[in-house]
Structure 1
């Protein structure tokens, strides 16, 4: 099932509507206030689910990690990510929060399936970037813990 979602997400990533979102993504990186609103909107949409550890929950967790990555990039504390990954990821977030996409979100069940498929594709395609950021977060947490012990 996850492979089906990834393949559907790949097809959506090649759609003209999604390409427009990727084009718009560059403008969000240059405007911290707009980026903050986007990240908050995407986060709110991602946490609005009652499932626990389903495939969607796993994708949701990774997308929340990506949101933290973009925040760290925007504040200058993390730069070990490619511009392409940032732009595509922000394009996915824009697609996620915009109700008018390939299959509009107001259509029950299938309206969110394209969002989930696109997120699954992004997670699969950019797993290395996500893992690198998580390792950076863990290293940062570990160094903060050592400093607290030294104090």
Structure 2
């Protein structure tokens, strides 16, 4: 199956636009992150290849929305939240209910977002380490 990269990126752009709007409402942003985390945990086996990246994306977005970590550029948070919105959508380029293939486009977008914000995530990890907190596999911190 050949992925239509332009179509996927078009859907992602729409997800980023939604992220810009949702980001102005802390409750909606938190609920979006929580819903995406629930979907990720439920489908962890299908997401093995991106799981650690996904956990980091959840952690930084939660810390940003909660106001704990605001040193990340807004464009990076919009990209991350846009990726989570894309992931959360059951109807995207390849619908998630399609066996085996359903998460291919989601994984593509999550990897794309991760690469786009990698430098910001590295700074976040340094900050998190300085806090003495570790990022757990469920996306929470201890």
- TM tier relative to shorter chain: 0.7 to 0.9
Q: How big is the alpha-carbon RMSD for the aligned residues of Structure 1 and Structure 2? A: 2.3
Structure 1 residues 47 and 18: alpha-carbon distance in aligned structure 2, compared to 1, 3 A threshold:
same
- Relative contact order (alpha carbons < 8 A, sep ≥ 6): 1 or 2 greater? 1
User: Does residue 61 of structure 2 align to residue 70 of structure 1?
Assistant: yes
Does 67-76 or 81-90 show the bigger shift? 67-76
1:139-150 to 2 correspondences below 5 Å: 139-141=130-132
Aligned residue for 1:115? Answer: 106
Structure 1 residues 45 and 16: alpha-carbon distance in aligned structure 2, compared to 1, 3 A threshold:
same
SS, match of residue 132 in structure 2: helix
Deviations 1:3-42 (A, max 9, x none): xxxxx79x36863221111111011111111111111111
Deviation of 1:125 after TM superposition, in Å, equals 2.2
Aligned mate of 2:126, from 128, 135, 138: 135
Aligned mate of 1:33, from 23, 27, 31: 27
Q: Which runs of 5+ in 1 are unaligned?
A: 1-7, 143-151
Distance 2:6 2:77 in 1: 18
Aligned mate of 2:73, from 79, 82, 87: 82
Deviation of 1:85 after TM superposition, in Å, equals 0.8
More helix by share: 1
Q: Which runs of 5+ in 2 are unaligned?
A: 134-142
Specify the structure having the higher radius of gyration (Cα).
Answer: 1
SS, match of residue 99 in structure 2: coil
Aligned residue for 2:38? Answer: 44
Q: Is the 1:12–1:18 contact (alpha carbons within 8 Å) kept by the matching residues of 2?
A: no
